[in-house]
Amino acid sequence: MSLPRSMICKGCWQQMHLPVPLRGPASIPFRAFGIRPSRMNPNTCTICELMFTRVMKARQINVDVSVLFADLRGYTTLSQSHPATAVSSLLDVFYDECAEAIWEYDGLLNKTVGDAIMAIFNFPIRHDDHAQRAVRAARDIQHRCRHLGRELDFPKGAEADGSELGVGIGIDSGQTSFGEFGRSHRDLTAIGTVVNTAARAQSVAEAGCILVTGAVRSRAPAETNAGEGRAYELKGFDKPMELYAV
């Protein structure tokens, strides 16, 4: 289900107090100049994207963010046993549901890679409670995706209750570098330990599970205090890391 969109760009309004219209009749002249909703967050505009590509090339801009990774479990198995068109449709729905949940909490859908997505909270739309927003978005993703299997065009007689599908999510918070990286291929993204930790937390999260780090737990106690801690061996990390299921 699509959510109501902001009528003006939240990024431009928050950063410069410019009411750049995104929708409605007032947006028509702006669209003539290429100013339209961003693909990474439709509540921001292409001016914000231009700011990313010009300013962030410095690579030295550090931002305090929450990073969320979500992966569709069971996708590879299904892709081997169901028609390509049905599986592609499933992936479309997964991306759309994740995007709606992320945008509802002013997050940035930074990447879609295979059957996984990466989202950033607190950039470019700033919120002091970005860790809480990331956890709430994760819960919304789980809620939206619990019946994903029903979106498949299953052959007659096959199970279609979605029991073989699920989403694993990992979240971390802290300082990252945001910018354009690469030479022959430029990629606009965040890098750093926080990104790596969120990705590794997602990799060990079972279907239907959300795992957060201690940094997220301390920043969003109301959302995570009920979570149980457990030490996980994460690839690339020397010591086990305490993660919390929420």
Q: What are phi and psi of 74, to 5 degrees?
A: 90, -5
Find where tokens 């990774």 sit: 69
pLDDT computed for residue 54 by the predictor: 57
pLDDT computed for residue 52 by the predictor: 64
Q: How far apart are CA 154 and CA 160, in angstroms?
A: 6
pLDDT computed for residue 95 by the predictor: 92
Structural domains of the chain, with CATH: 10-57 (no CATH), 62-245 (3.30.70.1230)
Are 245 and 209 in contact, with CB atoms under 8 Å apart? yes
Most distant CA pair in the chain: distance in Å? 57
Task: Characterize 41-78 residue by residue with b for buried, 16 or more Cβ atoms within 10 angstroms of its Cβ, and e for exposed.
Answer: bbbbbbbbbebbeeebeeeeeebbbbbbbbbbbbbeeb
Query: Strand pairing of 108-113 and 116-121?
Result: antiparallel
Q: How far apart are CA 214 and CA 187, in angstroms?
A: 29
Find where tokens 């022959």 sit: 184
pTM of the model: 0.82
Query: Which amino acid is residue 67, in one-letter code?
Result: V
pLDDT computed for residue 58 by the predictor: 57
Angle at 223 between CA 197 and CA 194, to 5 degrees: 15
| Strand partners of residue 228 | 245
Give the number of C-alpha atoms closer than 13 A to the C-alpha of residue 186, restricted to the C-beta side: 11
pLDDT computed for residue 91 by the predictor: 87
pLDDT computed for residue 76 by the predictor: 74
| Strand partners of residue 109 | 119
pLDDT computed for residue 184 by the predictor: 61
Q: State whether residue 123 is helix, strand or coil.
A: coil
pLDDT tens digit at each of 246 positions of the chain: 455 688 989 888 887 888 899 999 999 989 888 898 988 788 898 888 776 665 555 556 788 999 999 999 887 777 777 777 777 888 888 999 999 999 999 999 988 888 899 999 998 888 999 999 999 999 999 999 887 766 555 544 344 444 467 899 999 999 998 876 666 656 677 888 999 999 999 999 999 999 999 999 999 999 987 777 899 999 888 899 999 999
How many Cβ atoms are within 10 Å of 123's Cβ, its own excluded? 24
* pLDDT tens string 164-202: 678 999 999 999 988 766 666 566 778 889 999 999 999
pLDDT computed for residue 49 by the predictor: 74
Name the residue among 142, 147, 126 with its Cα closest to residue 64.
126
